[in-house]
Structure 1
Amino acid sequence: MKMKGQYLERTFIRGLETTATYLPQSQEFILHSPTLTSMKWWPGNLGKTVNHAVVMAQLFIRGKKHGIHPFIVQLRQTENHQPMKGITVGDIGPKFGFNSNDNGFLKLDHVYIPRENMLMKYAKVSPDGTYTKPPTDRLAHGSMMYIRVAFLDATAEALAKACTVAIRYCVVRRQSEMEPGDKEPQILDYQSQQPKLFPQLAMAYALYFMSMRTMKIYDNLLVELANGNYSNLQDMHALICGMKVVSTTTMSKGIEVCRLACGGHGYSHASGLPDLFTMVTHFQTAEGKNTVMLLQTARYLVKCASNAVSGENLSGQVEYLSESPQGKAAVGSYSDLLNLGVLHDAYKHRAQR
């Protein structure tokens, strides 16, 4: 996608090079990595641990491509943990953090698996090679939803840990007597500290409540999918992409604010903050790079806004775009700023604008 001479960042999923070719005569798939760039890279626990993996590959039947589908592939022998025939697998090496997780690489060289190893809840391949399409192509959006929803809770927990360490430190740490002979005050009482830490504490609560709300919406979506209702799938995909970005970016920046608020002690591993930061900051690129995730949400919102301008009545998370434009939220006193209804209207007005 090109705009004003610049290319917008995106992930070229449909260009996946790993292939899965079906053989009707033996009822098997041949999985193959035909190029260096088709090797799998980054999956957690792949480097040294797992014996089986769900591998995404382009499905070919009698020379016709049917798009990306998931396949269960045995990687290592259960008897001696050695790689199976045609499997090249290993660890990608040290990372910025989280090195307890053996992220790995995988190359497949004409690996045969039985037909039953294709996950066929929606798309199906019969023994004779007849292909049955899934009810909707949007089901591809759901493959990474759960882990992204799980990130929301993890980011709230990580930021809460950082706030706990930093605020407790600022209560115990005393520095610089205000008047000669006075007891040194807690550094939390300094006005320069409170604007750093209190917003992070509030955000930790906000992320936690947001994660619970999003998980509830996700659980409802699973019920709808089980009943054959796919109408909210795209809406949920856009919501989770946006929430993943907001939560992981806010969390990562917030932990660094907490670390710096602890002065030199925040640089010490004894504080726990350096390990915490390196453990979770990769959430910003794991399971979807944040820039790409933002673009997916943005494209969806622009499309919905265009439909709303055309007179279409929207539903779900974007229903507000179809409503009449809100006037300025009425704020007549300080107490109005504590009124959730007023705050809700203000945010809705800003989102519509």
Structure 2
Amino acid sequence: MEGVDILPHERSKKQFDVDAMKIVWAGSRHAFEVSDRMARLVASDPAFQKDNRSRLGRKELFKNTLRKATYAWKRIIELRLTEEEAGRLRFFVDEPAFTDLHWGMFVPAIKGQGTEEQQQKWLPLAYKMQIIGCYAQTELGHGSNVQGLETTATFDPDKDEFVIHSPTLTSSKWWPGGLGKVSTHAVVYARLITNGEEHGVHGFIVQLRSLDDHMPLPGITIGDIGMKFGNGAYNTMDNGVLTFHHVRIPRNQMLMRVFQVTREGKCVQSNVPRQLIYGTMVFVRQTIVADASSALSRAVCIATRYSAVRRQFGSQDGVETQVIDYKTQQNRLFPLLASAYAFRFVGEWLKWLYTDVTQRLQANDFSTLPEAHACTAGLKSLTTTATADAIEECRKLCGGHGYLCASGLPELFAVYVPACTYEGDNVVLLLQVARFLVKTVSQLGSGKEPIGTTAYLGRVQDLMQCRCEVQTAEDWLKPSVMLEAFEARSARMCVARAQNLSKFANPEDGFAELSADLVEAAVAHCQLIVVSKYVYSSSCANLKTCRVRFNYPWTMGV
């Protein structure tokens, strides 16, 4: 108990307004109040306790999660919580569950890709959880390569139905959360075939289980894919495998907001721009970036408290030195603390970006879409990779104690690390960013000005020639100096990669050969984005002036 008394002493030495910082972290006073209220609600309810999670067997673990998810939904209904409040309550329950994919992917997919009629039919059922949905895209043989999916949806004009079929072992849907035991429905992605011709991959709403006895419907085989990495962790989720044997669904269960199949089997592009579906992708990725800051902050909080309490060596008068006072500990820990704030701020900015992109798409303005796609893809990759690595570093910072499940770090790592793969493999995403950057550089001479997070490339000539004027360590604290350094590095790397690519007769051969270098350029660009948002946010010298929501949009170089 002696160590517990150290933390109040450490907190008493603060040199900033903690209450103001809470508002900054939350994004607004309203967001803080909602989070605080939901956190207290969960913490005070014994039904949500998680002390024994790492010691439960898989069957008991899953049953426990079912109970919590059901109880959480009951409380949401009883308390008449708003969608925002319900989301925060589920966050603080802190247990991967079938509801994550229902609310995080199934519902957004219908909202983003379904027609108004489809939304009116399916969303009320989903909102009331009268049906439980999952998102069946990834297959045993294909993940990031969505166009390579093998599941087929063949239109039968005689019966006005689609026939969903899994032609190969590798076409089995693999990994969807909530699929193994719980989901009654799924948004299934399959290759559309009409009149013997393929028309790419599209989404279909497919009922998987009977609403009477919950048994799989005819032609559908479902199972749980088994244990995952770590104690507890993602083993609370029933990730599943799914195959179809000539399963028929009505034609109107194809998501047809953008692309439609008529009664005669003709494929028609609707008057809704296909680019609108990218709005859902931007939403999902900005959520992932926000989750990165949350996961990283938890790990840093554990490691910081441990470092303040733990004492080792340097005994003077019988009192050993606090681990946090060692420069080597600070050098490893404090950059992670700064990263948690940086990711939080860039996550807040991405909320603005999502709103902006959505409004532009609805107005048929697609000018910012490629840049927004590259930006969100890159930030998803950068923040999830950094966070996964940082959680492991925090475990090491806690010495042997960090290896204990009781520290919370092993399970936190096991729960978080899949983020480096789902919604786009991180290296594949960086290569997409690199393509966009190379294209942007190649268009500089055409008079087309780069926009948004690539606007700095419009000053590429100056950045290629600029020299750092830093004379003292304190100079690096100047926002303009930091930004110029990151801008110059990114610009020079982008230009160099574009020049090297131009030497290849076949650009694709060059892209394959130089892919490692291109990934480095993409990382540099994404780091610049994070730094620019962090610099802007931290430039609020008086935190009391930051109690209101930040001023958007944030531009590069502010």
Could you state the TM-score of these two structures normalised by the residue count of structure 2? 0.59
SS at match of 1:193: helix
Amino acid at match of 2:260: K
Structure 1 unaligned regions, length at least 5: 1-8
Is 2:348 the partner of 1:212? Answer: yes
Structure 1 residue 232: Cα displacement = 2.1
Residue of structure 2 equivalent to 1:42 = 175
Amino acid at match of 1:268: L
The worse-fitting range, judged by mean Cα deviation, of 321-330 and 242-251 is: 321-330
Residue of structure 1 equivalent to 2:309 = 172
Q: Distance in 2 between matches of 1:186 and 1:342?
A: 35
SS at match of 1:34: coil
Please give the per-residue CA displacement for 1:290-323, whole angstroms capped at 9, x wherever unaligned: 1111111112111212222555322232222222
Structure 2 CA distance for partners of 1:340 and 1:177, relative to 1, 3 Å? closer
The worse-fitting range, judged by mean Cα deviation, of 19-28 and 71-80 is: 19-28
Residue of structure 2 equivalent to 1:15 = 148
Q: How do 1:19-168 residues align onto structure 2 when only pairs under 5 Å count?
A: 19-97=152-230, 98-133=234-269, 141-142=278-279, 144-168=281-305
Q: Could you list the structure 1 runs, at least 4 aligned residues long, displaced by more than 4 angstroms after superposition.
A: 134-143, 332-335
Q: Distance in 2 between matches of 1:41 and 1:28?
A: 25
- Greater strand share, structure number: 1
Structure 1 residue 35: Cα displacement = 1.3
SS at match of 1:78: coil
Amino acid at match of 2:416: V
- Number of corresponding residues: 344
Residue of structure 1 equivalent to 2:485 = 346
Q: How do 1:187-336 residues align onto structure 2 when only pairs under 5 Å count?
A: 187-323=323-459, 324-326=461-463, 327-336=466-475
Please give the per-residue CA displacement for 1:230-258, whole angstroms capped at 9, x wherever unaligned: 22222212111111111111101111111
Q: Distance in 1 between matches of 2:433 and 2:286?
A: 15
Amino acid at match of 1:227: A
Amino acid at match of 2:408: G
SS at match of 1:325: helix
SS at match of 1:70: strand
The worse-fitting range, judged by mean Cα deviation, of 148-157 and 170-179 is: 170-179
Structure 2 CA distance for partners of 1:220 and 1:306, relative to 1, 3 Å? same
Q: Distance in 2 between matches of 1:331 and 1:55?
A: 55
Amino acid at match of 2:412: L
The worse-fitting range, judged by mean Cα deviation, of 200-209 and 230-239 is: 230-239
Amino acid at match of 2:187: V
Amino acid at match of 1:133: Q
Q: Distance in 1 between matches of 2:462 and 2:262?
A: 52
Q: Distance in 1 between matches of 2:396 and 2:432?
A: 33
Amino acid at match of 1:250: A
SS at match of 2:236: coil
Instruction: Give RMSD over aligned pairs.
Output: 2.0
Amino acid at match of 1:26: K
Structure 1 residue 208: Cα displacement = 0.7
SS at match of 1:55: strand
Q: Distance in 2 between matches of 1:241 and 1:183?
A: 50
- Greater helix share, structure number: 2
Q: Distance in 2 between matches of 1:171 and 1:56?
A: 50
Structure 1 residue 332: Cα displacement = 4.5
1:145–1:240 Cα contact (<8 Å) kept: yes
Percentage of pairs with the same residue: 44
